[in-house]
Amino acid sequence: MFVSSRLNLARWFTLSMGSILVVFASVLYTREARDRLHVFDQALYSTGQVVASGAEEIVYGDIRQIDLENAPLLGSDSLRLDTDILWARWYTPNKQLLQFMGDIPPHTLDQDLGFQTLMVSEAEQLDRLRQLTVPVYREGRLLGYLQLAASLDPVEHPLQELRLFLVLGVPITLIVIAGAGWILGGMAMQPIRLSYQRLQQFTADASHELRTPLAAIVSNAQVALMEPVSLEEQTACLKIISEVSESMGDLVERLLFLARYQGDVPSQVFQTLDICHLLASIGADYASQASGLGVQFEADLPSAPCHLQAEPDLLRQAVVNLLDNAFRYTSAGGTIRLSCRGQGSWLSIQVHDSGIGIAAEDLPHIFERFYRVNKVRSRHSGGYGLGLAIVRQIIDLHHGYVTVSSIPMKGTQFEIRLPLNQAMAS
Ligand code: ADP
């Protein structure tokens, strides 16, 4: 799937870039050919003007005669012209041939006026010529028609080189573009591939997690249905089914939470809230729990209100997850502290415990979904390895970050840092 998408990306990239390249090359070639022909035509026209300026009209009474003796190329008394003119022809106003230089021309002018491109074969080779036929006037009277022709070689040769350059250059560039498209396609697919792999992993982990409680439900239901089975045994099985179902419900809830808050949340859900008040109310819930567990719980919170933009339920969930873990991994006699303080433009919320701690090699992974340090122990204590992933997702949504430091057998400290006075809509 990824290879074919990458191929498609590369193909479309090559097609679009290739089309642009081909259009660009065609425009370049057409402009170059037009400009060179224009310059060539101007030179041919200037030569025509020089030739025509040498033509004179001699009047004997009623008889008018054209004298071309001083006309360059045509007249014998004329100056030599340093040009590549192949032929020069003079036709009378009646379009009858009067004088010529070069190939023997037709006796009557049968060509249109203006510029023409002709193909002539010379020594079994086709040659392209440019011919100019213009009427020549003197004092408003038509003296005759001048026809000049020159080889188009000076235009053709550089164009041939340009054609060769484009014919070789365009395919080579297309190959380079295709290679670049393939590499860029790979780079574009990389994040999609990663998120696809993550999704696959997530689905596999979720299914795996659901399989164990499901198996427990099925086996207990089968035992309860077996005959003969006492009422006590049946009750015990149903109790297990109920507990396992509850824990499955909790897992599904967490999975739904992670799926629902993937990416960004609308800015309207954020509101200005007094975080100290929120933390105090969470702390009060845990204080009573702590005394029952023989754990010392401290809430070190500022008395003054501290406002920031946040979603109260999500933020509560994040702190509760950290405190739940602290209580889960701290045995009786230990200490748990919830504290909060401002640090410049940040607000720092810390949950510190003196529990079992986390080994250095596990620290980089504990925020990953379904990561548990001790799988047997975690499952036993009801953990699925999703609590910290949820904390990180919530804090990400608030444009903050969460860090951890821990010393095994000494304790762990989680710190949530949230931006103060920041527009959450950003
Ligand atoms: P779980 O629901 O299994 O606790 P979490 O995502 O909350 O999953 O935590 C991931 C792992 O990080 C846990 O399996 C646990 O080993 C470790 N952990 C989290 N918090 C603490 C803590 N306060 N003290 C020791 N270990 C912790």
Question: Separation of 366 CA from ligand 1 center, angstroms?
Answer: 7
Residue 252 has pLDDT above 80, yes or no: yes
Answer whether 129's CB lies under 8 Å from 118's CB. Answer: yes
Looking at the DSSP bridge assignments, the partners of residue 36 are none
pLDDT (tens digit per residue) in 214-230: 998 999 998 888 877 78
Give pLDDT, residue 425: 35
Question: Does the beta carbon of 400 sit less than 6 angstroms from any atom of ligand 1?
Answer: no
pLDDT (tens digit per residue) in 158-200: 999 999 999 999 999 999 999 999 999 999 888 888 888 878 8
Percent of the chain scored above 90 by pLDDT? 49
77 half-sphere exposure, CB direction, 13 A CA radius = 7
61 half-sphere exposure, CB direction, 13 A CA radius = 0
pLDDT (tens digit per residue) in 126-139: 788 999 999 999 88
Question: Does the beta carbon of 372 sit less than 6 angstroms from any atom of ligand 1?
Answer: yes
Give pLDDT, residue 193: 87
Residue 388 has pLDDT above 80, yes or no: yes
Question: Does the beta carbon of 336 sit less than 6 angstroms from any atom of ligand 1?
Answer: no
Mutate to test the pocket of ligand 1, among 366, 369, 379, 406 (most ligand atoms within 8 A of CB): 366
The minimum-distance atom of ligand 1 relative to the CA of 373 is 16
Alpha helices for 226-274 (secondary structure H): 231-260
pLDDT classification of 63: cutoffs 50, 70, 90 = confident
Give every CB contact of residue 23 below 8 A, 6+ residues apart in sequence.
Answer: none
Q: Tell me, what DSSP letter sits at residue 104?
A: P
Query: Phi-psi region for residue 61, left (φ > 0), alpha (ψ -120 to 50) or beta?
Result: left
pLDDT (tens digit per residue) in 286-311: 998 898 889 999 999 998 888 888 98
Question: Separation of 358 CA from ligand 1 center, angstroms?
Answer: 8
Residues comprising the chain, all counted: 426
pLDDT classification of 213: cutoffs 50, 70, 90 = confident
Question: Does the beta carbon of 354 sit less than 6 angstroms from any atom of ligand 1?
Answer: no
In whole angstroms, give the CA distance from residue 177 to residue 14.
6
- Integer angstrom CA distances of residue 396 from 112, 246, 267, 369: 80, 29, 14, 15
Question: Separation of 76 CA from ligand 1 center, angstroms?
Answer: 110
Give pLDDT, residue 79: 56
Q: What is the pTM of this model?
A: 0.59
Element of type H or E holding 103: none
Range with the lowest mean pLDDT among 45-59, 104-118, 120-134?
Answer: 120-134
pLDDT classification of 264: cutoffs 50, 70, 90 = low
Lookup: tokens for 424: 């959450």
Q: What is the mean pLDDT of the chain?
A: 87
The minimum-distance atom of ligand 1 relative to the CA of 385 is 8
Range with the lowest mean pLDDT among 71-75, 95-99, 267-271, 286-290?
Answer: 267-271
Give pLDDT, residue 208: 78
Strands of 201-303 (E only): list them. 271-274, 296-300
